Structure 1
């Protein structure tokens, strides 16, 4: 906690909580207690960030959806009052800025260049290939020694193999790009390390795009290379888009696979419902509920107000930072009755795990299919799967920009 002056005055305001906040001991799947308190008593209130700035934190579901759909809210990470997640994140966003950190029309122009690859129709066509990858990795786990770390043996390889195939990135390079991704998604990464990791990825993607300019193939990097050749993108812009898709394409889904599995192991009744059903609708419903319940984007979506905006009884002034805490938004009882209960049968398709509005996650159709294949296969093929250690021994990514577990030892 820290005490700050109210805007436009020299008088100290009430204590302002630091953000992000600490989860309660023994409650690794739930948002921090302070977020519940704010949602009930002060749903739009100030928080203190690492750099001493005090943006607004928005905790209620309806307010978050309203702001995410409001063109007066900017995603531009170059804005001087953009509430960056960490010193390393600030450096990375300035060094490698992709369309998710831009506003329309430039955001829409660049995003449209890669939208087709993530369309529902295109992603559904990938389902058999994803199923083959999942089955092959499960075969390898069953043939190998026990216990096994599900993160390294399964959760990380599944989306990495898929996104490499989609982009046209050699999977043989996975150690390289996974290692650099880990540097960039850790909150405590020093700026100089973030800068170096970002530059390594820029150089790597630039080389691949250079290769695609000469030898195009049926992949997304070749699509970007064609845009470069047509003068619609610079090579640096194409590389920046490649970095975004590569990192987001494996880190987020990998964490959902492992964290979702751990959550189901702690809710055996829900795991049994999922394992015993071969109904695609039940599996799809489980995916949506786990996305709502867990929400691995646990540092909020960061924005800046371009004009004065009235929301939740508060006026957010032009130029002020805004953080939309989607994890607590997905636990809002006004939107999801009994929100702290995991129920894979409920309809939660309106959750904000993928955001909302023009900036909602481009890759959500791919993530959904990957998770449906994983959650619909893993527990049926290994029906006796269980933790190999106590829950208290699992290392959670409290220090990460993406939430999950560093390792998940399992046996059967």
Structure 2
């Protein structure tokens, strides 16, 4: 193990030494703030497959340091795939070799990455996404209608709104039949389990990829006005393989469903438990002032960790690069921590304060650089419509249990409430008739 240089933090274990505060599951370890004060980066050692000390890495948590790792072309994803404790996002071919055609978009670099990403790029511009607004509004309204009709005794906002809305939106965009969407939920849940269940995740990835290949064949014979058809046609024109199209569809589905569902659920917790300067909850404030919804969505994105680890997938340097206060040597790993970077006091004054009045801010929740989130505009649209309608129609919404009694999924990569003793992940209630 490399000895730290004078002035550096001691080498720590990741993620063991960086737990979320037990009484604040939506907050981050205080240690990140200490590292930011010391220059934004620290040396850590990752676990190997047996949980023993493995490869060293540079942990980037300062805002500028994270942007460097995400945007500098010297950092490559392909060379850092399947590094513990992060999952393997590729599959092997018949000879046991890792095949880029069988890899998810997030693990590709440079031209391989651009060629696949461009198959869907035009479908996710701000203008293109706006065309989905009426459909998203209908989906959100139907979900709220059904939750209200079932009554507050059974309401689970994670299940009834978060998961339902996000799955149906991405299902409609891609063209996945409604009858097949429950299978996607099962596959996605299995994929996003902890690294201890890597085999289970690989099986789910293969099953979902096989389904996507079947959709491609169908769209080739029966084209429709959906994203899968458009990607299939563009791939044929540019020479991109069916496997790459399937991998892109896979990434869009997983990235556009579980993460958005978690944002709706966790954002509800934020709005119900934080207060406007006038003393009212931010939830009731948005009911009175719906024009503040976009700012609340941005502050949710900034302050809510997107995963239990708070980090994007690792990168490996192909040359020496200065990252914050540390030099990452050629061949070394770097871990870009977008969630801690969103709490960097050098960029966000009073960073732990939940303040929707900050407006549109320079957070890194959708990553940065070549791998910035393809579906960021769609995610914002979903959240803005969901919170606009929820706060309008149910102004007196409350958590049905105290925050410290919520159950959190300890295994899933996406940070989200999990079903508790009564089977509900985010039980909510309302004291009077809502509309």
Structure 1 length as normaliser, TM-score? 0.91
Is the contact between residue 11 and residue 45 of structure 2 (CA under 8 Å) also seen in structure 1?
Answer: no
Is the contact between residue 11 and residue 42 of structure 2 (CA under 8 Å) also seen in structure 1?
Answer: no
Aligned to 1:39: 36
Matched, 1:391 2:396: no
Is the contact between residue 326 and residue 353 of structure 1 (CA under 8 Å) also seen in structure 2?
Answer: yes
Aligned to 1:246: 253
Q: For 1:37-116, list aligned pairs within 5 A.
A: 37-41=34-38, 43-51=40-48, 52-76=54-78, 79=79, 81-82=80-81, 84=83, 86=85, 88-89=87-88, 96-116=102-122
Matched, 1:278 2:290: yes
**How big is each residue's C-alpha offset from its partner over 1:48-67, in whole Å with a ceiling of 9 and x where there is no partner?**
22322221101100121233
Is the contact between residue 88 and residue 190 of structure 1 (CA under 8 Å) also seen in structure 2?
Answer: no
Q: For 1:5-404, list aligned pairs within 5 A.
A: 5-6=2-3, 14-19=10-15, 21-41=18-38, 43-51=40-48, 52-76=54-78, 79=79, 81-82=80-81, 84=83, 86=85, 88-89=87-88, 96-147=102-153, 148-230=155-237, 232-268=239-275, 269-279=281-291, 282-297=292-307, 298-301=309-312, 302-404=314-416
Relative distance call for 1:69 and 1:288 in structure 2 (3 A) is same
Q: Secondary structure at the match of 1:403?
A: coil
Q: CA deviation at 1:103?
A: 1.4
Q: CA deviation at 1:272?
A: 2.4
**Whole-Å separation in 2 of the counterparts to 1:74 and 1:186:** 24
**Whole-Å separation in 2 of the counterparts to 1:37 and 1:296:** 21
Q: CA deviation at 1:15?
A: 4.4
Is the contact between residue 82 and residue 321 of structure 1 (CA under 8 Å) also seen in structure 2?
Answer: no
**Whole-Å separation in 1 of the counterparts to 2:329 and 2:290:** 51
Matched, 1:410 2:428: yes
Is the contact between residue 388 and residue 409 of structure 1 (CA under 8 Å) also seen in structure 2?
Answer: yes
**How big is each residue's C-alpha offset from its partner over 1:171-198, in whole Å with a ceiling of 9 and x where there is no partner?**
2222211111111112244222122111
**How big is each residue's C-alpha offset from its partner over 1:114-160, in whole Å with a ceiling of 9 and x where there is no partner?**
01111100111211211111111111111113231111111001111
Q: CA deviation at 1:169?
A: 0.8
**Unaligned 5+ residue runs, structure 1?**
none
With 337-346 and 87-96 compared, the bigger mean Cα shift is at: 87-96
**Whole-Å separation in 2 of the counterparts to 1:103 and 1:223:** 23
**How big is each residue's C-alpha offset from its partner over 1:337-383, in whole Å with a ceiling of 9 and x where there is no partner?**
00000000013421101111121111000001001101111022011
**Whole-Å separation in 2 of the counterparts to 1:24 and 1:204:** 40
Q: Secondary structure at the match of 2:159?
A: helix
Q: CA deviation at 1:237?
A: 1.2
- Number of positions where the alignment pairs a residue of Structure 1 with one of Structure 2: 400
Q: Secondary structure at the match of 2:59?
A: strand
Aligned to 2:95: none
**Whole-Å separation in 2 of the counterparts to 1:394 and 1:163:** 27
**Whole-Å separation in 1 of the counterparts to 2:411 and 2:36:** 23
Q: Secondary structure at the match of 1:201?
A: helix
Is the contact between residue 304 and residue 320 of structure 1 (CA under 8 Å) also seen in structure 2?
Answer: yes
Q: Secondary structure at the match of 2:110?
A: coil
**Whole-Å separation in 2 of the counterparts to 1:87 and 1:58:** 16
**Whole-Å separation in 2 of the counterparts to 1:174 and 1:155:** 15
Superposition CA RMSD, Å: 2.1
